[in-house]
Amino acid sequence: MSQVVKQTYREAVREAIREALHRDERVFLMGEDVGCYGGCFAVSQGLLQEFGPERIRDTPLSESAFVGAGIGAALGGMRPIVEIMTVNFSLLAADQIMNNAAAYLHMSGGCFNVPLVVRMSTGGGKQLAAQHSHSLEGWYAHIPGIRILTPATLEDARGMLWTALKDPDPVFIFENNTLYNMEGEIAADAGAVDINRACIRRAGSDVTLISYAAGLFKALEAAGQLAAEGIEAEVIDLRTLRPLDYPALLASVSRTHRAVIIDEGWRSGGISAEISARIMEGAFYDLDAPVERICGAEVPMPYARHLEQAALPQPETIITAIKTMVQ
């Protein structure tokens, strides 16, 4: 039986990076403050001392420059892990991401893959205000040519990175910043995980709750409270936003006949709208009620804690929506 250890989400990501650096000499980490400072969220703390400046590389404050350097390194045979501090700052590298990383295989006639992994923090809840707190992973899920991962559990935080590094094409990993301090138990030898399938985190028969990252735990909390009132909610962790695991979603909705999508991103044009449309297209006659969406408020993220919490989906909002839908 494998040993079980206590670990935070932050430590799980760090172990994933450490294991990758040990397993493949082509792997290196680069980004702002990943070396001497140990990372904006302390994920890479201690790695510079262990692996040296050749493999833990601090970069200038230019997302376009170091994402571009990562693309070049990947084309040259390396396996770079590029860290962007927050998802908002990734917009400074949007040209590199969409016009280069995502398009290079197509524009080279299938001759050149870009085996690049980009990690970044995302989401609100830490009072980092409007330029550091948004959930833009749904934007990136709009782009063909890249894979979008959203690990919620310790196992996924630990295991998705190595699978991503084995992918010949660009993979973007979005780590919700409220999860970094989350602690739990994980097998000491936990390894690579599947990045193609959604996962049922709680079985149920009355309604399907669909979410990812921090939203998963709000869905689970709501499902626990609803169970005490006789409403059994099935909770699906999307895990990957592109490509979405539609068969898993449609199979669940065909059993429960109701669906609620929880997404911290904005409602208009968001990933929740895409999921809702696909359910309506693929499972319309299985539905007993319209698909519900519970999303972030369409405002720049407030700094004040009470306003920030009001701008994000909460278990109470989920519970109210489900009770209305079921009853």
The CATH class of 199-326 is alpha beta
Helix, strand and coil in the chain, % to nearest 5: 40, 20, 40
Mean pLDDT, residues 163-173 taken together? 98
End-to-end CA, the chain = 46
Let me know: does 59 contact 31? Beta carbons within 8 Å.
Answer: yes
**Which percentage of the chain shows pLDDT scores above 70?**
100
Among the options 32, 132, 264, 292, which is catalytic? Answer: 132
Topology alike, domains 4-187 and 199-326 = yes
pTM: 0.96
2: confidence class by pLDDT, cuts 50, 70, 90? confident
221 is catalytic: no
Take residue 171 and report the two structure tokens written for it: 């993979």
Compute the mean pLDDT over every residue in the chain, rounded to the nearest whole number: 96
**DSSP code, position 179:** G
Q: Is the pLDDT of residue 327 over 90?
A: no
CA 237 to chain centre: 10
Among the options 19, 32, 63, 137, which is catalytic? Answer: 63
Let me know: does 184 contact 208? Beta carbons within 8 Å.
Answer: no
| Structural domain spans, the chain | 4-187, 199-326
63 is catalytic: yes
Let me know: does 264 contact 214? Beta carbons within 8 Å.
Answer: yes
CATH label, 4-187, candidates 2.30.40.10, 1.10.287.130, 3.40.50.970, 3.40.1670.10: 3.40.50.970
pLDDT in tens, 247-301: 999 999 999 999 999 999 999 999 999 999 999 999 999 999 999 999 999 999 9
